[in-house]
Amino acid sequence: MPDTILGPEQIQGRTRDDASLLDRTILLRAGGDALRKLNPLRLLRNPVIFVTEVISALVTVLAARAAFEGQPWGFFAAIAAWLWFTVLFATFAEAVAEGRGRARAESLRRARTDTAAKLLIRADDRALWQPRSATELRVGDLVLVEAGDLIPSDGEVVEGIASVNEAAVTGESAPVIRESGGDRSAVTGGTAVVSDWIVVRITAAPGSTFIDRMIALVEGAARQKTPNEIALDILLAGMTIIFLIAVASLVGLASWNGQPPGVPVLAALLITLIPTTIGGLLSAIGIAGMDRLVRFNVMATSGRAVEAAGDVDVLLLDKTGTITLGNRQAAGFIAENGVEERALAEAAVLASLADGTPEGRSVLVFARDRYGLVPPALPAEAAVIPFTAQTRISGLDMGGAQYRKGAVEAVLASVGSTGSPTLLAAVERVARSGGTPLAVAKDGRLLGVIELKDIVKPGIRERFAALRRMGIRTVMVTGDNRLTAAAIAAEAGVDDFIAEARPEDKLRYIRDAQAEGRLVAMAGDGTNDAPALAQADVGVAMQTGTQAAREAGNMVDLDSDPTKLIEVVEIGKQLLITRGALTTFSIANDVAKYFAILPAIFVASYPELQALNLMRLTSPESAILSAVIFNALIIVALVPLALRGVRYTPVGAAALLRRNLLIYGIGGIVAPFVGIKIIDLILTLLGIA
């Protein structure tokens, strides 16, 4: 079932980070989810935390046995409790990240309702409609959607034009135009038709609409581990095995001296040395990366694509509908010598009277605004001359006069004229500026030219400059001729362009760039962009585009802003930087733990190790317990950083490495010294150890 329109509060809740880390509902639910995640079968995918849970269970059994046998058990029980807290805090971090996405999904579910549809049927050569529930619609059904109706399911407009409120999907209250043909025919279930009417062919079965996929994605159900996460998992598993062998070897070393440490003490040493911090936060970092995309109104169907976005260095953008608004609009009338501009405008209006395309309607609007010409109703006896690819001319025969408009070469040939040098120079100027000239004739006489202009989206030049500063090369691809393409490219500020491009040309360019070792992102909205979107490492489809484009891409931009890739790239880089920073911190703080726990374990056998007790911890028991407590609490302390991400600034790799080592490397060494000492003082004051 599709969504209804969300209210302003719900829309704002989706577009900003209202699901804060301190949201009581999310935290309470995450607590329950964290307990359920303690299932060993679920923890197997996280080797570090799985080992921690196994060790926790072992120490718990030993503490219980000691209590049963009447031996001292309090110290063992304290270690076991904090080891369990370590596992719980790790699962809690993942549960909080998932809870934020689940909260967004629930806001969508609350707005769902059973929408009535008007199913079109044929009866006695007439088109009739019957009421149907949206859940009864099947792929291929045609439905009539009129002003005030909700679009019952995802589909494509096959007839008509309407203004549609897509706030349920994009959060934007301004209506958009949806019409048959072209790259603005896709509609989404749950959006509302504001004016006019459209006939929609259903393209999604119940339960598999775009909104349904959104809900599944924000809940994290479809998220898979990225290559970076998998590689990091392997690294963490390897480090765990190495430390496990190292700790086991200490048993023999201490036994040779006659004072082997107890299993709980060795367990504490192992857990404080293996990288539990990054192991506990790794999954939360990945989930949070996709969640941040949602806050920017971008739906990612692949965590791999989010990660790849951080390394993108080439961006291909389709011109029409991506860099430009997509609809060419009338911007001027250029009259032939001896013809008044108003007469040209009147003929252009009549030639466009039966033209239902956006370009044809823009001629009527421009003539009305420029000369106050109100287009008359189309007479019943008028003969419409449709546009064809062969003639490249359209028009109208009415009142004994013939009105024609079309490609300049085609109209000139039809009237047997070459045009004046002045007019031809104007036509050349229009083409060089990126516009499209259309010639207008009446009764076989050339009257002049209409200038159609493809409007570049506002502010896009500045956005491309920002991409350039990030080291991303922007390439515009278009089917236009080189003159038009060059003019649009210069106005938009892209680095390069490919003119007269066919779908296979876009595909070839991407494959060539990938063969050179580049990561390529493609932004597009048309069916002809689908192959390139599927081939690109990051395929960003515009929500206003066709169903084929949205299915081919691995991201959908709900705002249909091609320069949204800036945010996508920043989030991808932030994801990689956050993992690197926390991995650096996790490994670095192990160094400080050596100075806390190793002297505590072996100082009785090797008094010389007392020199390593730089923190002057009160007792061996206090040192061991303080290190275990710090190891658990640091995971909780770093949850906000894992979910928000390390701030990205466009600096070079060397500068980034220096910053990581300075902040998270040195910080990872200093923090445990301070934290363990504070915990030791508290335990001493409380008389616990």
Query: Model confidence over 246-271: pLDDT tens digits?
Result: 888 877 666 666 566 778 888 888 88
- 388 in a known ligand binding site: yes
- 223 in a known ligand binding site: no
Least confident of 72-76, 108-112, 469-473, 582-586: 108-112
DSSP β-bridge partners for residue 157: 200
Instruction: Give the residue from 123, 127, 158, 162 showing the smallest Cα distance to 140.
Output: 158
Crossing angle for the helix pair 565-602 and 620-644, nearest 10 degrees? 180
State the pLDDT at residue 2.
Answer: 34
The string of pLDDT tens digits covering residues 201-211 is 888 877 777 66
Q: Say whether pLDDT at 588 is over 50.
A: yes
State the pLDDT at residue 5.
Answer: 28
DSSP β-bridge partners for residue 109: none
The rounded distance, in Å, linking the Cα atoms of 499 and 477 is 6
**114 falls in which pLDDT band (50, 70, 90)?**
low
| For range 180-203, the mean pLDDT | 80
Crossing angle for the helix pair 620-644 and 263-273, nearest 10 degrees? 30
| For range 558-572, the mean pLDDT | 77
Q: Mean pLDDT highest for which of 18-22, 168-172, 515-519?
A: 515-519
| For range 7-34, the mean pLDDT | 54
State the pLDDT at residue 609.
Answer: 67
CB-CB neighbours of 480 under 10 Å? 21
Least confident of 37-51, 99-113, 477-491, 624-638: 99-113
**466 falls in which pLDDT band (50, 70, 90)?**
confident
CB-CB neighbours of 649 under 10 Å? 11
State the pLDDT at residue 640.
Answer: 85
State the pLDDT at residue 379.
Answer: 84
Instruction: Look at the pTM and tell me if it is higher than 0.75.
Output: no
- 118 in a known ligand binding site: no
| Rg value, the chain, Cα | 33
Instruction: Give the residue from 474, 419, 428 showing the smallest Cα distance to 446.
Output: 419
Higher per-residue confidence, 98 vs 458: 458
Instruction: Give the residue from 395, 342, 348 showing the smallest Cα distance to 372.
Output: 342
- 85 in a known ligand binding site: no
Q: Say whether pLDDT at 113 is over 60.
A: no
Least confident of 2-6, 142-146, 427-431, 487-491: 2-6
Token duo for residue 383 = 């003969």
- 359 in a known ligand binding site: yes
- 457 in a known ligand binding site: no
The rounded distance, in Å, linking the Cα atoms of 215 and 213 is 5
Least confident of 55-59, 631-635, 654-658: 654-658
Cβ neighbours of residue 410 closer than 8 Å, sequence gap 6 or more: 391, 392, 393, 439
Least confident of 164-168, 230-234, 362-366, 497-501: 164-168
The string of pLDDT tens digits covering residues 295-340 is 777 877 666 777 788 888 888 887 766 687 766 788 889 998 888 9
State the pLDDT at residue 327.
Answer: 67
- Given a contact cutoff of 8 angstroms between Cβ atoms, the answer to whether 105 and 26 are in contact is no
State the pLDDT at residue 7.
Answer: 31
- 362 in a known ligand binding site: no
State the pLDDT at residue 15.
Answer: 36
| For range 158-172, the mean pLDDT | 72
- 323 in a known ligand binding site: no
- 319 in a known ligand binding site: no
**520-524 β-sheet, strand order:** 298-300, 555-557, 538-542, 520-524, 314-318, 473-477, 496-498
454 assigned to active site: no
How many percent of the chain have pLDDT more than 90? 8
Instruction: Give the residue from 95, 83, 102 showing the smallest Cα distance to 31.
Output: 95
Q: Say whether pLDDT at 470 is over 80.
A: no
Q: Say whether pLDDT at 176 is over 80.
A: no
**290 falls in which pLDDT band (50, 70, 90)?**
confident
State the pLDDT at residue 441.
Answer: 93
State the pLDDT at residue 397.
Answer: 92
Q: Which of 141, 318, 557, 590 is catalytic?
A: 318
| 239, 404, 689 from 624: Cα distances, Å | 21, 91, 10
Q: Say whether pLDDT at 229 is over 90.
A: no
State the pLDDT at residue 14.
Answer: 36
**16 falls in which pLDDT band (50, 70, 90)?**
very low
- 632 in a known ligand binding site: no
**219 falls in which pLDDT band (50, 70, 90)?**
low
Sign, CA torsion 552/555/560/562: negative
**17 falls in which pLDDT band (50, 70, 90)?**
very low
- 387 in a known ligand binding site: yes
**167 falls in which pLDDT band (50, 70, 90)?**
low
Higher per-residue confidence, 614 vs 225: 614
CB-CB neighbours of 551 under 10 Å? 15
State the pLDDT at residue 257.
Answer: 61
Q: Say whether pLDDT at 173 is over 80.
A: no
How many percent of the chain have pLDDT more than 70? 83
Token duo for residue 150 = 């909700």
The string of pLDDT tens digits covering residues 361-394 is 889 988 998 888 888 888 888 898 888 767 788 8
Average pLDDT, the chain: 79
The string of pLDDT tens digits covering residues 438-448 is 899 999 899 99
| For range 426-447, the mean pLDDT | 85
